[in-house]
Structure 1
Amino acid sequence: MSDAGQLAALAALIGDPTRSRMLASLMSGQALTATELAAESGVSASTASTHLARLTAGGVLEVRAQGRHRYFRLADADIAAALEALIGAASAAPRRSFGPADPALRAARVCYDHLAGEAGVRLHDALRAHGLLQADGGALTDAGEAWCRRRGLDLDALQSSRRPLCRPCLDWSERRDHLAGALGAALLQDLLRRGHARRIPGSRALRLDRTGLRFVESLA
């Protein structure tokens, strides 16, 4: 299939309103069952199963069986990044202000598996300002590698991952880069593990405590 054909096929997959609602609900990075996705998209279980089968066959979703349940999630970070960019493009056209109206989503949210929103952009800026990220945000400096190890991150494991270690991701509400890639995911998990960030149930939004806010501002 040509590039144009592949693009048309992907657009047809994600352009359906029901499938779009399903995909948006999976941008939190959490896996959901078919029943949960049916409820999120407002359709019957049988209709949801048909849509999920198409998304899985098209490589947009992956499915994992656990016990009696089957859990669906986005296939990979590249799919999530493409969806985030499309959400941003769609939100910009009819509105004068970019991004979500919900202040909590604008402040800090999950973008598949890394930190986004104002907090994500500030973290990216702080890493660059401290000389830990290269100017283009695409790689760590030597000082950045040392900082990661002091932070307790398993840098060797992150560097051996199939995904890029550092990748700038254009934030759809801030219109500036936040940090994606294996390091972006590891830093969010580190904040969650330390209790300095927590998920807001039923939302992509995150709530950072005082220490978490200080960290994204100054890495302290």
Structure 2
Amino acid sequence: MKEGPDIARIGTLIGDPARANMLTALMGGQALTATELAQAAGVTLQTASSHLSKLEDGGLIAQRKQGRHRYFTLADAAAGALLESLMGFAASRGHLRHQPGPKDPALRKARVCYDHLAGDYGVRMLDSFVKRGAIATDGENLAMTEEGRTELGRIGIDVGTLSSSRRPICKSCLDWSERRSHLAGTLGKALLSHFLEKGWARRSGESRAVLFTPEGERKFLALFPAD
């Protein structure tokens, strides 16, 4: 028997179409019931329960209980990053279920990737931070600069709170529709929460899309200008 990480097991778990659809549904960062995930996968509730048990045993999802109800989420940010990376790899090799990318233009523009902003606006945000020196980059490695800490303070983001987490503040995540990196990590999460709390944008009730208001879009584009 070969030694080392068992990537075959993870590949088998993700490779089943029904389980892949469940995991994709959980990429929105919301806790979903087994019934909702069964609908997303197109299987019966009994079959969905079996799939969910396997995904939980494999460390890809976690279960939360609230009263008599059970909810499921992705296990952590690492699981979300893995799935988004696989989506990007599949898209770059032409393995698409819809040509040439997300069917809904709103998903291509801005969407939730586990707990941070993805799509064109997510990539634009990271590019803008790097261009003005708020984030330093060395390949895929990102680091917040002193200029960035000062700038985030003006925006209203407490960098000290972000530093208290075991997760990195800045992390690149391959965007599957843009084929470039967007901003993840505790900063990516904090910024998405900031946009939603300020009323600049809202979550779509039908998909992972993030919908900006006209005023929110104006403020976002002013804060993160393109080249």
Name the SS for the 1:73 alignment partner: strand
Name the SS for the 1:134 alignment partner: strand
Q: Could you say if the C-alpha distance between residues 100 and 106 of structure 1 is closer, same or farther in structure 2, counting changes exceeding 3 Å?
A: same
The aligned counterpart of 1:164 is 168
Please tell me the root mean square deviation across aligned C-alpha atoms, in Å: 1.9
Percent identity between matched residues is 52
The aligned counterpart of 1:208 is 212
Name the SS for the 2:72 alignment partner: strand
Contact (CA 8 Å) 1:123, 1:217: kept in 2 or not?
A: no
User: 1:43-192 counterparts in 2 under 5 A?
Assistant: 43-92=43-92, 93-94=94-95, 99-136=101-138, 138-192=142-196
How many pairs were matched up?
A: 219
The aligned counterpart of 1:35 is 35
Code of the residue aligned with 1:49 in structure 2: it is S
TM-score, normalised to structure 2, is 0.90
Code of the residue aligned with 2:36 in structure 1: it is E
**Structure 1 residue 3 corresponds to structure 2 residue 4:** yes
Code of the residue aligned with 1:2 in structure 2: it is E
Query: For the residues of structure 2 that align with 1:127 and 1:98, how far apart are their CA atoms?
Result: 28
Contact (CA 8 Å) 1:196, 1:212: kept in 2 or not?
A: yes
Query: For the residues of structure 2 that align with 1:153 and 1:71, how far apart are their CA atoms?
Result: 30
Contact (CA 8 Å) 1:166, 1:180: kept in 2 or not?
A: yes
- CA drift at 1:40: 1.4
Comparing 162-171 and 135-144, the one that deviates more: 135-144
Unaligned 5+ runs, structure 2? none
TM-score, normalised to structure 1, is 0.92
Unaligned 5+ runs, structure 1? none
Q: Could you say if the C-alpha distance between residues 216 and 122 of structure 1 is closer, same or farther in structure 2, counting changes exceeding 3 Å?
A: farther
